[in-house]
């Protein structure tokens, strides 16, 4: 029986931090020195050559001033301060949240103290695709974002490396790369694959079929990818939304919920929404009443719609979205006239 991949059980950023540090710190190990050399060239865009005769040593570190991973490179001319150092902001599924500008202040203070000019090579290493807004934020902060497809191409050649840890990581990254390109309905709750499927297949198909709505896709820490639907032009802060969760549509039955998590909707308005659902005669939705349903107004009825195939899923989302839009339009009319 083939041994299972370690990184299937350790997919988080801290595990990746450890792997990156482990590779860099084994630059002088016979078994790993070629991987380490190539990885350093890749991360630094060939700005550091540890095979230069003047190179003396490197020093890896983590969580200094909250920065994920760093590596100092010392050459013959160096005494107290390294000639160059690498700073890596490591991401897996999360996004940049204004950390980089704070890190820049620390980095600038280090370089000012050393009096050697700008020494930092600042890299944003994210092993899932970054959104356009995230790429812009990284660039605006003066960091280099390595595109995910380039990371996949780098590790592809190491999938059969004799060191099993290297091989495991390379295979894991390539598997994530495959998930990030999914265009057909995933058979498991692979969050990245569902995100790709929603964005590349479901959303374009709904738009092609004339659904006039705002469509928002994302992931949560609760173990699912979601597609949220709002009326076009609505104030999303005050609007209940239709949510389709990846983990709810793996089998044949289709499930979607009308929710108010994080929305400015009081109890009376929520009950009015439930009544609008109950009054709707489509047969798709049922209202959820009671104290335990403080965030949920309604959900699709059992067996009302199916998702046995990709086409069936698109049709079910389209039908439920149209009914949802009718329901919230009726609800807005009722609450505005109270």
Whether 337 shows a pLDDT value over 60: the answer reads no
**Listed residues 179, 204, 232: the one ending a domain:** 179
Give the HSE-up count for residue 180: Cα atoms under 13 Å, Cβ half-sphere. Answer: 19
Q: Print the domain residue range for 35.
A: 6-179
The two tokens of residue 137 are 């934020």
Answer whether residue 185 is part of any domain. Answer: no
Query: Euclidean distance between the first and final Cα of the chain, in Å?
Result: 67
Answer whether residue 36 is part of any domain. Answer: yes
Running DSSP on this structure, what letter comes out for residue 30? T
Is 220 found in the same domain as 113? no
pLDDT of residue 123: 97
Query: Is 274 exposed, middle or buried (CB count within 10 Å of its CB: 0-12, 13-18, 19+)?
Result: buried
Answer whether residue 234 is part of any domain. Answer: yes
Whether 338 shows a pLDDT value over 70: the answer reads no
Is 324 found in the same domain as 198? yes
Q: What is the pLDDT of residues 12-39, one digit of tens each?
A: 888 999 999 999 999 999 999 999 999 9
Is 147 found in the same domain as 92? yes
Indicate yes or no: pTM above 0.75: yes
pLDDT of residue 85: 94
Q: Which of 265, 260, 274, 201 is nearest to 230 (CA)?
A: 260
- Dihedral (Cα; 93, 96, 99, 103), 10-degree rounding: 90
**Listed residues 120, 148, 179: the one ending a domain:** 179
Is 100 found in the same domain as 132? yes
Is 328 found in the same domain as 205? yes
Is 113 found in the same domain as 245? no
Is 116 found in the same domain as 56? yes
Is 110 found in the same domain as 198? no
Is 105 found in the same domain as 161? yes
Is 161 found in the same domain as 47? yes
Q: What is the pLDDT of residues 276-335, one digit of tens each?
A: 999 987 789 999 987 777 899 999 999 899 999 999 999 999 999 999 999 999 998 877
Q: Which one is predicted more confidently, 183 or 12?
A: 183
Domain count across the chain: 2
Is 67 found in the same domain as 114? yes
Is 146 found in the same domain as 11? yes
């Amino acid at each position: 029986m083939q041994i299972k991949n370690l990184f299937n059980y350790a997919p988080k950023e801290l595990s990746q931090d450890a792997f990156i540090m482990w590779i860099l710190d084994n630059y002088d190990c016979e078994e790993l020195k070629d991987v380490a050399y190539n990885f350093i060239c890749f991360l630094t865009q060939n700005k550091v050559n540890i095979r230069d005769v003047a190179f003396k040593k490197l020093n890896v570190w983590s969580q200094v001033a909250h920065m994920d991973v760093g590596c100092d490179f010392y050459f013959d001319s160096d005494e107290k301060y390294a000639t160059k150092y690498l700073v890596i902001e490591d991401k897996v599924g999360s996004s940049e949240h204004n950390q980089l500008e704070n890190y820049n202040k620390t980095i600038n203070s280090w370089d000012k103290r050393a009096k050697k000019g700008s020494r930092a090579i600042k890299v944003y290493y994210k092993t899932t695709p970054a959104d356009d807004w995230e790429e812009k934020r990284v660039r605006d902060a003066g960091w280099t974002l390595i595109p995910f497809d380039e990371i996949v191409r780098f590790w592809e050649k190491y999938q059969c490396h004799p060191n099993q840890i290297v091989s495991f990581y390379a295979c894991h990254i390539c598997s994530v790369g495959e998930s990030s390109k999914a265009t057909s309905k995933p058979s498991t709750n692979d969050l990245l694959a569902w995100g790709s499927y929603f964005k590349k297949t479901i959303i374009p198909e709904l738009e092609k079929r004339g659904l006039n709505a705002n469509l928002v896709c994302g992931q949560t820490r609760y173990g699912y990818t979601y597609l949220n639907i709002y009326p076009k032009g609505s104030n999303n802060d005050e609007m209940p939304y239709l949510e389709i969760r990846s983990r709810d549509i793996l089998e044949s039955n289709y499930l979607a919920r009308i929710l108010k998590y994080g929305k400015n909707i009081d109890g009376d308005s929520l009950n009015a929404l439930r009544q609008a659902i109950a009054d709707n005669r489509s047969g798709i939705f049922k209202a959820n009443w009671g104290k335990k349903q403080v965030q949920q107004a309604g959900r699709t009825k059992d067996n009302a719609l199916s998702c046995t195939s990709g086409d069936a899923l698109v049709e079910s989302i389209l039908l439920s979205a149209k009914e949802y839009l009718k329901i919230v339009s009726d609800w807005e009319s009722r609450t505005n006239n109270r």
